[in-house]
Amino acid sequence: MSIEKTSTPAEDQANDNPAAAAGAATPVDPRLLVREQGFAGYLGEFKRKMKAGDLGSIPVVVGLLIIWAIFTSLNSNFLTAGNFSDMAVAMVGTGMIAVGIVFVLLLGEIDLSVGSVSGVAGATFAVLSVTHGMNEWLALLLAVLTGTVAGAVHGFFFARIGVPAFAVTLAGLLFWQGFMLQILGSNGTINLDSEGVVVKMTSYFFSDVAAAYGLAIVVTAGYFLTSFFDNRRRAAAGVPSRPLNEIIVRTVLLAILAFVVAIVFNQYKGLPLAVVIFLAFLLLTDFVLRRTAYGRMIFALGGSVEASRRAGINVELVRISVFAIAGGFAALGGLFVASKIAAANQGAGTGEFLMNVIAAAVIGGTSLFGGRGRTWNALLGVMVIVSIQYGLALEGVGSPVQYMITGGVLLATVVIDAVTRKTQKTAGRA
């Protein structure tokens, strides 16, 4: 007994026209087609994003340029090579911690403990290396590990026990601050070796002009090659990609920016080691978030926890790991802060420091609602924060006014984020 198989009209059409069938089987998001339309397509996409409230980093970049223009008009020393280099080094400590905060914010959560954890890391390194004479590299590793474990503990209580992240990390803020005071002892300050590893992280400069120019060349060439071969892979897979002339224009713009910064650094002491380390971590974390399955899981959790769980994502493990990452970066940032002042003291991670770290991540463009942001947002945000601080300091403006201005900038950023989210919902994109 045989059964005759009948075909549907759609199958008959596919058999008659295989090319059409292949096209029908692989629909392409129309928004991706802008890459094949060149600059006209991107102009249309830009207009569409503006209408939908998807502003990206544009407000931050424009705001930063305005801040620089204002302070330069008030004081010609603001953008001198020396002041620019000092700002670049000063922003690394806060920026490192802000990178960890970006990971937490992508989950739609907050970590209030990073300031205290950074202080603990600096104190741990000082006690181990100075008081007990431990090898500095080993002490540095243990200090970072201390911060990572502290973050993992916070993540455990949040992910496994179900305690809100706000409450857990608030408790952590108090606990780790007390722990820092305890290990520093009655003196409260431990001076670091001025020729040691940690102090060199902010005091060392590559004085050879070839270092800054070489880094500019590496960054530019790396961007071009990455974009070029990524486009080749997309083309081979039949996915729309950027036209070559656009890649060239983007590379030229990046090269101009990179070499201008290199020229400014070389007019002072040279390329700061702290900036090189910071850029390396930014590239690494950006790769993790954008190019790995782990990064996609973080974004998925920020979008919908329940949907992520149903998709098979280990929600608890990802949450614990994210808080561990935040703790690790808090420790790194704390070591850079200790390096800048060549000491570990009781004031580390206290006062407005925590607020500046969170503000840097949010001002840079990371959404407080989760699911949107990049680690490069930490760089933009901390540039805004440090520029305001240094600009007002040059004008002799006191801390009260600095707090008010920073608070106003943060409020404006959060308002923009909220309005953007609301506009995107109206446009059906969120």
Cβ(183)–Cβ(126) under 8 Å?
no
pLDDT confidence of residue 5 = 45
Question: Which is nearest to 176 in space by CA: 135, 239, 122?
Answer: 122
Q: Which residues pair with 345 in a beta bridge?
A: 189
Residue 242 neighbours by CB under 8 Å, 6+ apart? 35, 227, 231
pLDDT confidence of residue 37 = 56
Q: How far apart are CA 45 and CA 189, in angstroms?
A: 55
Residue where the block lists tokens 């002491």: 269
Tens-digit pLDDT profile for the chain (430 aa)? 444 444 444 445 445 554 444 444 444 445 455 555 555 666 666 666 666 555 667 778 888 899 999 999 999 889 899 999 999 999 999 999 999 999 999 999 999 999 999 999 999 999 999 999 999 999 999 999 999 999 999 999 999 999 999 999 999 999 999 999 999 987 788 999 989 999 999 999 999 999 999 999 999 999 999 988 888 888 788 777 777 888 898 899 999 999 999 999 999 999 999 999 999 999 999 999 998 999 999 999 988 888 889 989 999 999 999 999 999 999 999 999 999 999 998 888 777 788 889 888 888 888 877 778 889 989 999 999 999 889 988 888 877 887 788 778 778 777 776 776 666 666 555 5
**How far, CA to CA in Å, does 122 sit from each of 101, 180, 208, 307?**
19, 9, 30, 40
pLDDT confidence of residue 1 = 44
Q: Which residues pair with 189 in a beta bridge?
A: 345
pLDDT confidence of residue 383 = 93
Residue where the block lists tokens 């008659």: 16
Given phi > 0 = left and psi -120 to 50 = alpha, else beta, which region is 406?
alpha
Q: How far apart are CA 372 and CA 382, in angstroms?
A: 18
Cβ(286)–Cβ(376) under 8 Å?
yes
Cβ(139)–Cβ(351) under 8 Å?
no
pLDDT confidence of residue 213 = 96
Residue where the block lists tokens 């992520």: 308
pLDDT confidence of residue 51 = 61
What angle is formed at CA 91 by the lines to CA 139 and CA 192, rounded to 5 degrees?
A: 30
Q: Which residues pair with 190 in a beta bridge?
A: 344
pLDDT confidence of residue 50 = 60
Q: How far apart are CA 118 and CA 112, in angstroms?
A: 11
pLDDT confidence of residue 83 = 93
Report the half-sphere exposure of 347 (CA within 13 A, side-chain side): 5
Q: Return the SS3 of 244.
A: helix
Q: How far apart are CA 78 and CA 409, in angstroms?
A: 20
DSSP sequence for 101-123: HHHHHHTT---S-HHHHHHHHHH
